[in-house]
């Protein structure tokens, strides 16, 4: 294809600058540019570039692009003051359809390869709104077109979120790898921005994960999965060589697969955690990696002794020593690489044969070897190899224990929410699980700032429980301290009025 010939030329970067200028003018709904205007814009872009290079003549670049079919030209006969200007060859240039298509494709590839990606926390509320809208459409038995449009909006949001999350994690690992050549000042600014960004995303993830989970359950209860075959048949696109029913079956399978992928973000299996948990773990790993990188850079900056300095000093010693024996001594002292000792058997201490490491093989005594060993070689009684353990049983047991713990926690939450609002002193004896839930609620709500009435409101990290704490009314006859009896002992604290709401069960 002649339109891609410029990519193989030494001035390929300048050719692309010229095409960038023409494509930008086309994006502004412009028709064409003169040679002088193109040259000015290319020069302006080169001035903004950190790498300055010798610029070839723009008219030569345009002539080559015209020859290869990337641009089209017409002679410019407007605004000529003299006949010399009229006779001078001046052209108006614009991109040809083939040249514009090729350059747009190359620009898209550059943007795809250079995209850093982002953990877009703003996509989570948008997905939640789309799921709520889908639930309302299913309840009101809306048209299939509206339902299909909403489902596609949800899928497109998650496709964008997952792609950007993958690029962000890859770019973060590349920026924080040990061989990265980022300057210290740039890295410190990057570190602060990344930590703030990860904190914002994780907080948004914790905030919206629970409502999105409820919205997915509500949509499935309303029968969205059962509608996929009908939606696929309604929106089936005619395909050559396939009947309309075959296209609908293929699209229905794709819709079900995408919905399972959506569930996988928030619902884990017994052998696979949800994607939200994986992203939280990756965020924690990124923070740990940042801390380790900061520690390593500080060691390089402030410690006078490090591995690189040791190797440089050792190399200086080697270079400054002319004696081969001295160099060998430095080598042995630095790396502990000594010459091999003579192979032999045990001898009486009086013979001093064991200490002669430099004895030649020909001069030293022979090592006694048993005839059987000489004839048959070494034998080792190998028993039955250890079998490879099947991890499925352990995973099932772990999943059972996790489900059991989650069931106990759910039961404790139900009992605690059923007993509140109540004064702390009115609580009965708490079991160990109920005590853990009670303490986590106190930890969340006591860390919140009180309002003008002394009321505190908090929400647990998973977004499930909403805790409200009000000061006890002043009563001269009522004690200000409450004693809560638990399975682990006695807890004494101020007699607050506690309210715990389970948002998963519709508490407001």
pLDDT tens digits, one per residue of 20-71: 888 888 877 777 888 888 888 888 888 776 555 567 888 888 888 888 888 8
Q: Is residue 313 part of a domain?
A: no
Q: What's the pLDDT at 413?
A: 87
Q: Is residue 30 part of a domain?
A: yes
- Domain extent at residue 264: 123-292
Residues 408, 409, 415, CA angle at the centre, nearest 5°? 90
Task: Among 292, 325, 360, give the residue marking a domain's end.
Answer: 292
Is residue 84 located within the same domain as residue 153?
no
Is residue 100 located within the same domain as residue 131?
no
Is residue 263 located within the same domain as residue 152?
yes
Among 269-278, 346-355, 376-385, top mean pLDDT goes to 269-278
Average pLDDT over residues 286-291: 75
What phi and psi values does residue 346 have, to the nearest 5 degrees?
Answer: -70, 140
Is residue 63 located within the same domain as residue 155?
no
345 close to 368: Cβ distance less than 8 angstroms: yes
Q: Is residue 327 part of a domain?
A: no
What phi and psi values does residue 201 have, to the nearest 5 degrees?
Answer: -65, -40
> CA torsion angle for 387, 388, 390, 395 (degrees, to 10)?
130
Tokens 């509500």, located at residue: 218
pTM: 0.43
Is residue 276 located within the same domain as residue 175?
yes
Is residue 66 located within the same domain as residue 137?
no
DSSP state of 430: B
Is residue 219 located within the same domain as residue 187?
yes
Where residue 74 falls (left for φ over 0; alpha for ψ -120 to 50; beta otherwise) is: beta
> CA torsion angle for 196, 200, 201, 206 (degrees, to 10)?
140
Is residue 225 located within the same domain as residue 166?
yes
Is residue 9 located within the same domain as residue 105?
yes
Task: Among 264, 292, 320, give the residue marking a domain's end.
Answer: 292
Chain-centre distance for alpha carbon 333: 45
Q: What's the pLDDT at 304?
A: 59
Pair of tokens at residue 356 = 């002669």
Q: What's the pLDDT at 114?
A: 44
pLDDT digits (tens, 9 = 90+) for 262-286: 888 777 766 677 877 777 777 777 7
CATH number at residue 38: 1.10.10.10
Q: What's the pLDDT at 122?
A: 66
Is residue 263 located within the same domain as residue 412?
no
Q: Is the dihedral of CA 394, 400, 406, 412 positive or negative?
A: negative
Type and span of the H or E element at 232: helix 228-234
Q: Is residue 339 part of a domain?
A: no
Q: Is residue 297 part of a domain?
A: no
> Which residues lie across from 74 on neighbouring strands?
92
User: Three-state DSSP class for 347?
Assistant: coil
Q: What's the pLDDT at 339?
A: 61
C-alpha distance from residue 199 to each of 121, 210, 213, 331 (Å): 10, 18, 21, 49
pLDDT digits (tens, 9 = 90+) for 352-372: 555 455 666 677 666 666 777
Burial 37-47 (b: 16+ CB within 10 A, else e): bbbebbeeebe
pLDDT bin (cut points 50, 70, 90) of residue 115 is very low
471 close to 497: Cβ distance less than 8 angstroms: yes
> Which residues lie across from 493 on neighbouring strands?
482
213 close to 224: Cβ distance less than 8 angstroms: no
Q: Is residue 193 part of a domain?
A: yes
Q: How many domains does the chain have?
A: 3
Average pLDDT over residues 314-321: 88
Q: How many C-beta neighbours within 10 Å does residue 402 have?
A: 12
pLDDT at 343 over 60: no
Task: Among 92, 114, 136, give the residue marking a domain's end.
Answer: 114
Where residue 152 falls (left for φ over 0; alpha for ψ -120 to 50; beta otherwise) is: alpha
Average pLDDT over residues 151-162: 78
Type and span of the H or E element at 71: strand 71-75
DSSP state of 294: H
Pair of tokens at residue 267 = 């619902």
Q: Is residue 306 part of a domain?
A: no
pLDDT digits (tens, 9 = 90+) for 420-446: 888 888 888 888 888 888 888 888 888
Type and span of the H or E element at 445: helix 432-446
The whole-angstrom separation of Cα 61 and Cα 192 is: 45
CA nearest 202: which of 287, 294, 292, 289?
287
> Which residues lie across from 95 on neighbouring strands?
71
Q: How many C-beta neighbours within 10 Å does residue 488 have?
A: 11
Q: What's the pLDDT at 62?
A: 87
Chain-centre distance for alpha carbon 409: 31
Where residue 465 falls (left for φ over 0; alpha for ψ -120 to 50; beta otherwise) is: beta
Tokens 């794709």, located at residue: 254
Q: Which residues contact 26 (CB under 8 A, 6 or more apart)?
A: 94, 95, 100
Which residue did the predictor score with more confidence, 492 or 237?
A: 492
pLDDT bin (cut points 50, 70, 90) of residue 177 is low
The whole-angstrom separation of Cα 445 and Cα 436 is: 14
What are the residue ranges of helices labelled H in 177-227?
184-221
Q: Is residue 84 part of a domain?
A: yes
Is residue 139 located within the same domain as residue 288?
yes
Is residue 91 located within the same domain as residue 138?
no
């Amino acid at each position: 294809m002649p339109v891609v010939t410029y990519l193989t030329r030494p001035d390929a970067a300048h050719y692309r600058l010229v095409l960038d200028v023409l494509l930008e003018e086309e994006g502004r709904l412009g028709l064409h540019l003169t040679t002088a205007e193109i040259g000015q814009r290319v020069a302006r872009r080169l001035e903004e570039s950190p790498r300055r290079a010798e610029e070839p003549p723009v008219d030569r670049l345009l002539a080559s692009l015209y020859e290869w079919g990337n641009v089209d030209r017409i002679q410019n006969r407007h605004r000529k003051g003299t006949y010399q200007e009229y006779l001078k060859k001046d052209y108006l240039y614009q991109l040809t359809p083939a040249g514009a298509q090729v350059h747009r494709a190359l620009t898209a590839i550059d943007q795809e390869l250079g995209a850093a990606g982002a953990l877009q926390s703003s996509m989570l509320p948008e997905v939640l709104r789309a799921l709520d809208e889908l639930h309302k459409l299913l309840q009101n038995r809306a048209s299939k077109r509206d339902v299909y449009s909403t489902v596609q909006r949800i899928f497109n949001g998650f496709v964008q979120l997952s792609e950007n999350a993958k690029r962000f994690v890859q770019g973060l690992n590349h920026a924080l790898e040990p061989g990265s050549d980022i300057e210290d000042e740039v890295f410190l600014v990057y570190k602060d921005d990344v930590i703030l960004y990860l904190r914002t995303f994780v907080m948004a993830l914790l905030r919206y994960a629970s409502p999105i989970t409820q919205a997915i359950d509500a949509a499935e209860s309303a029968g969205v999965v059962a509608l996929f075959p009908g939606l696929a048949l309604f929106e089936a696109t005619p395909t050559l060589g396939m009947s309309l029913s075959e296209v609908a079956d293929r699209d229905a399978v794709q819709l079900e697969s995408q919905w399972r992928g959506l569930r996988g973000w928030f619902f884990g299996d017994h052998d696979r955690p949800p994607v939200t948990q994986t992203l939280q773990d990756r965020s924690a790993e990124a923070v740990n990696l940042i801390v380790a990188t900061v520690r390593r850079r500080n060691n390089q900056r402030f410690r006078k002794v490090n591995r690189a300095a040791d190797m440089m000093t050792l190399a200086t010693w080697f270079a400054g020593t002319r004696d081969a024996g001295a160099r060998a001594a430095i080598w042995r002292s630095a790396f502990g690489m000594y010459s091999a000792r003579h192979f032999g058997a045990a001898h009486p201490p009086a013979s001093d044969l064991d200490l002669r490491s430099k004895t030649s093989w020909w001069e030293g005594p022979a090592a006694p070897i048993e005839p059987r060993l000489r004839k048959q070689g070494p034998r080792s009684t190998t028993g039955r190899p250890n079998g490879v353990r099947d991890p499925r049983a352990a995973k099932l047991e772990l999943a059972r224990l996790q489900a059991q713990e989650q069931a106990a926690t759910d039961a404790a939450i139900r009992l605690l929410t059923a007993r509140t609002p109540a004064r702390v002193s009115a609580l009965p004896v708490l079991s160990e699980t109920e005590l853990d839930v009670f303490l986590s609620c106190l930890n969340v709500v006591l860390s919140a700032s009180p309002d003008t009435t002394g009321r505190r409101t908090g929400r647990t990290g998973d977004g499930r429980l909403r805790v409200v704490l009000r000061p006890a009314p002043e009563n001269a006859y009522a004690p200000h301290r409450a004693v809560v009896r638990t399975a682990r002992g006695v807890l004494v604290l101020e007699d607050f009025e506690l309210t715990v709401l389970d948002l998963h069960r519709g508490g407001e």
